[in-house]
Structure 1
Amino acid sequence: MACMPSVQDQVRLVPALYQCATHVSEGSIGKTNDSLSEIKRLSSIVDGPLQRLSQIMADSLARRLLLSCEGLTGSLIHPSDYFEQSSIQSARYNFASLSPYLKTGFATINQAILEAMEVEKVVRIIDLSCSASHPRQWLKLLHGFHGRPGGPPEVRLTVVHDDNDFLANMKALLSKEADMLKIPFQFNDVNGRLETLDFSNLRDVLGIKYGEAIAISCSLQMHRLLVVDDNISCTAIDQLQKMANAAQLKQMVSSVYSPASILNYPRTPSPLLLASFLNAIHTLKPNIMLVMEQDANHNALFSDRFVEALYYYAALFDSFNAMAAANSQWANERTQVERMILGEEIKNILLCEGVNRHERHERLSQWEMYMDASGFHHVPLSFDAIRECELKLLSFGLNGCQYQVESDSLLLGWSSTRLYSISAWRPKKGSTSGSREHMLVQRQMNSEPFRVKHSDV
């Protein structure tokens, strides 16, 4: 029987990770090796969420230290290379099934779509959630349209995904359900990822016809459009940033730290990919666009995103652990999701740079700036949409799952940590999309603690 960890051992894990990150930033192989040994000892005591997270982060830190040795890193086989496509799809499906946040997001988004399409006769739904897409969301929406006073509209659904089998199965499932509900239904599939779509011809790519009322749902994908080549900078700037990383991490090790105290750095210009995408969406003039994103500062210098990732994923691992504990049959699914979905996100955040770093999560305040600069305005989520969110969270029976209304949007979190944002948008009347120059903004860090404004959650 494994021995139970002492409180002291649990507390020492976080400083040990900070110390290891400091040594990695300094390029100290010997000190990093000692820190990794200590992390391994502390994380092997018991199989808890913090221990499992520490192992993933330690693996990422070790690999990051080796980045300067191109021959060595080029010879390593990344564990994800062994993942079979069927296992990846299974993990994605289980993530959507196990996550209380994605389920809540889908329910909230559906309610907003139903309201925006209340009197429309022909509705085009665009699902840009790609790997986060799940047929359950659209099954629920079909039932919502079925119960609409005056009868359901004709529903035309376009889904973007990188797996043809997934698309075929979703089409068969939804077509059968629509037929049973006697809803005129059309399914259009687009094989690909959001960042690979031809934004110059988006209407044709997505099969959108003139005269259709358009609703767009994009969950956990838009941050992938923030990719820039971080490596295009002078040596002096690189060296200064490396020194800042090391100095900042040293300060964190010796102080009580929270992500809200991270130093703010001027952000890079918004990438052309995001500007191009938002311009293309703007020209479609959708009735509503729903965006769900990870609410975290993972698009910054290494030191910033290391600390943010530690706090963020500690809360996420804890919530998934609670979900699995409430239903023992999900134990295997939780392990798969932690390793193949969340673990790969963490590795991309900590290990990758430049065009290879796709997990560039931003806070809601930053997305508000991007959207506003691109000619979109907030659509306040209605009382019914917020109530749908509340009821869905309550249905999981987990006290840690909470929500907060902020800037007419929703923030979902675990205990005191904000995890996801849900916001609704519509093109401003008479506006054109924002120029690239308007996308030059300063990073805005929200230092307000996460609060639950509704006491019954």
Structure 2
Amino acid sequence: MHSLSLLQTTLNRHHNPFVCSPFLLHEMLSSVDAKLSAALEPASASAARGRDSRALDGSPLRELIFECAQAVARHDLDRSLGILRYLASKVPEAGDAGERVGAYFTRALACRVAKRLEAAGGNGPEGDHSELLASLRIPDAPSQEEIHAAYLALNRVTPFLRFAHLTANQAIVEEMEGEDIVHLVDFEIMQGVQWPPLMQALAERPGGPPHLRLTGIGSSPDILRQTGNRLADFARTLNLPFEFLPLVAGGIEQVSVDMFSKREGEVVAVNCVLQLNRFLEKGPDSLKAFLEMIQTLRPKVVTLAEREANHNQPQFLDRFGEAYRHYAIIFDSLEATLPPRSPDRVTVEEVWFGREIANIVSCDGADWVERHETFEQWREIMESAGFHSLPPSTFALAQAKLLLRYYPSEGYRLFENDDCLLLGWQDHPLFTVSSWH
């Protein structure tokens, strides 16, 4: 018997995922947002402040930013500071997509120059760089509450996270068909918005639901407790036998196999959404040890979601150029679907993507943690660790296509691969989801 698709079970038990209406999908997704996110959502990050200045043409702005990056790469502080001061007075914070992404890369370059000046113990040939940073309105590092708010906003306004969640969930449901005790291990559960559709699919499984145990890993005991309570309440409405097992860890690299309360007879599924890239800064031995730890859990399926980008290049200009291309495409997608002053758009750009841009451009060494890789590299890593890919099912592809009908723009596109599904904007893949055993 084929496994029921997640949207199939969620949308009033429709038999074929191709015939579910966009209206029903909209209802389901909106309901999940309302029940599991809105009530406990932290305060949004501060909105960007507009600036009265002449908008620059996209092409000259990009050329100036790349010229500045080249000056930074060759340690030319005079030229770097001169271009940055010019850009600080000209780049609008609330312009079009090209201007907005340019503003974040300008900020990131300014932070890199400031770090270099501070390391040298002076302010450089052009005077006090603190004035430059202030003129660029570089915000303080976001709090955990602001990061969680940005995560929820990203989940609302783009299909990227939902695509990752639903595609991973579909693989888990299919692999867990017929199992009596299912143990999910989620590395970085956040608010748990991934799991209600899967819980509903399991609750409506022919022959009755399994007993579901969910180990949620996170750094905040309070957020884990709130997430566990919400999911337990949701499970009760489904009559789904459910246990939530919180596991507090400062980072997934701190998790060890003896922290899991595995039981006899249960079947394990491991979920890693935007997590494995965190190990790239620590070196191949750290990632190898983590994958070996996962193997000791003997999971039936491991689901991965990662960026389709190469931000792990050691040469600064190489990773700068790749990052600019990647985030310019993402900002284009936000502009096509959200108004310029949308609070959600500002939150996602500043707290989520802006934070990533700042890390990729301004940091080196152990501080540089946003080291994304392409699927080809992840496939090589997983296969060398002894994992084998599971091809995405026709149900996974069908529900991914249906999901995109929920969003107002036709620019989002699916890319099929024998080993994964990719979601992107126009002709550019941006996110990839794969499953392994």
Q: Could you tell me the TM-score, scaled by structure 1's length?
A: 0.77
Once the two structures are TM-superposed, the CA of residue 320 in structure 1 deviates from its matched residue by 2.2
Please name the residue that 1:403 is paired with.
414
For 1:173, which of 211, 219, 230 is the aligned residue? Answer: 230
Q: How does 1:8-407 map to 2 (within 5 A)?
A: 9-44=57-92, 47-69=95-117, 70=119, 71=121, 81=140, 83-130=142-189, 133-199=190-256, 202=257, 204-228=258-282, 270-300=283-313, 301-325=315-339, 331-407=342-418
Contact 1:96 1:134 in 2 (8 A): no
Partner Cα separation in structure 1 for residue 122 and residue 239 of structure 2? 60
String of CA shifts for 1:402-436, please: whole Å, max 9, x gaps: 1101232011111122211111101xxxxxxxxxx
String of CA shifts for 1:48-93, please: whole Å, max 9, x gaps: 22212111111111221233332469x9799664534432322222
Partner Cα separation in structure 2 for residue 2 and residue 63 of structure 1? 23
Which secondary structure does the structure 2 equivalent of 1:136 belong to? coil
Once the two structures are TM-superposed, the CA of residue 319 in structure 1 deviates from its matched residue by 1.5
Pair 1:143–1:197, CA change in 2 (3 A): same
Contact 1:127 1:218 in 2 (8 A): yes
Which secondary structure does the structure 2 equivalent of 1:291 belong to? strand
Pair 1:79–1:160, CA change in 2 (3 A): farther
Once the two structures are TM-superposed, the CA of residue 393 in structure 1 deviates from its matched residue by 1.6
Matched letter for residue 244 of structure 2: F
Pair 1:155–1:80, CA change in 2 (3 A): farther
Where has structure 1 moved over 4 Å in runs of 4 or more?
1-6, 75-82
Partner Cα separation in structure 2 for residue 302 and residue 275 of structure 1? 26
Is there any run of 5+ residues in structure 1 with no aligned partner, and where? 229-269, 427-457
Count of residue pairs brought into register by the alignment:
374
Contact 1:50 1:317 in 2 (8 A): yes
String of CA shifts for 1:253-303, please: whole Å, max 9, x gaps: xxxxxxxxxxxxxxxxx5211000011111222111110001101001211
Partner Cα separation in structure 2 for residue 45 and residue 122 of structure 1? 51
Matched letter for residue 419 of structure 1: L
Contact 1:4 1:45 in 2 (8 A): no
Partner Cα separation in structure 1 for residue 430 and residue 261 of structure 2? 33
Once the two structures are TM-superposed, the CA of residue 157 in structure 1 deviates from its matched residue by 0.5
Matched, 1:418 2:429: yes
Once the two structures are TM-superposed, the CA of residue 10 in structure 1 deviates from its matched residue by 1.6
Once the two structures are TM-superposed, the CA of residue 94 in structure 1 deviates from its matched residue by 1.8
Contact 1:412 1:420 in 2 (8 A): yes
User: Bigger shift: 103-112 or 80-89?
Assistant: 80-89
Once the two structures are TM-superposed, the CA of residue 110 in structure 1 deviates from its matched residue by 1.2
Pair 1:113–1:181, CA change in 2 (3 A): same
Which secondary structure does the structure 1 equivalent of 2:388 belong to? strand
Once the two structures are TM-superposed, the CA of residue 4 in structure 1 deviates from its matched residue by 8.3
Which secondary structure does the structure 1 equivalent of 2:227 belong to? helix
Pair 1:17–1:113, CA change in 2 (3 A): same
Please name the residue that 1:246 is paired with.
none
Pair 1:365–1:84, CA change in 2 (3 A): closer
Is there any run of 5+ residues in structure 2 with no aligned partner, and where? 1-50, 124-128
Matched letter for residue 288 of structure 2: A
Contact 1:10 1:42 in 2 (8 A): no
Once the two structures are TM-superposed, the CA of residue 225 in structure 1 deviates from its matched residue by 0.6
Partner Cα separation in structure 2 for residue 12 and residue 39 of structure 1? 11
Identity of aligned residues (%): 31
Once the two structures are TM-superposed, the CA of residue 208 in structure 1 deviates from its matched residue by 2.4
Pair 1:120–1:294, CA change in 2 (3 A): same
Pair 1:117–1:35, CA change in 2 (3 A): same
Once the two structures are TM-superposed, the CA of residue 2 in structure 1 deviates from its matched residue by 7.3
String of CA shifts for 1:136-173, please: whole Å, max 9, x gaps: 22111111111111111000001111122221111111
Pair 1:45–1:127, CA change in 2 (3 A): closer
Pair 1:95–1:192, CA change in 2 (3 A): farther
String of CA shifts for 1:327-370, please: whole Å, max 9, x gaps: x9x91121112111111111111111111111110000000000
Contact 2:107 2:138 in 1 (8 A): no
Matched letter for residue 161 of structure 2: L
String of CA shifts for 1:98-142, please: whole Å, max 9, x gaps: 231111111111111110111100000111144xx3422211111
Partner Cα separation in structure 1 for residue 184 and residue 152 of structure 2? 21
Partner Cα separation in structure 1 for residue 373 and residue 196 of structure 2? 30
Partner Cα separation in structure 2 for residue 38 and residue 12 of structure 1? 13
Contact 2:54 2:90 in 1 (8 A): no
Matched letter for residue 377 of structure 1: H
Once the two structures are TM-superposed, the CA of residue 18 in structure 1 deviates from its matched residue by 1.1
Matched letter for residue 148 of structure 1: R
Matched letter for residue 151 of structure 2: R
Contact 2:71 2:77 in 1 (8 A): yes
Matched letter for residue 363 of structure 2: C
Matched letter for residue 309 of structure 2: A
Q: Could you tell me the TM-score, scaled by structure 2's length?
A: 0.80
Q: How does 1:432-443 map to 2 (within 5 A)?
A: none
Contact 1:13 1:42 in 2 (8 A): no
Matched letter for residue 378 of structure 1: S
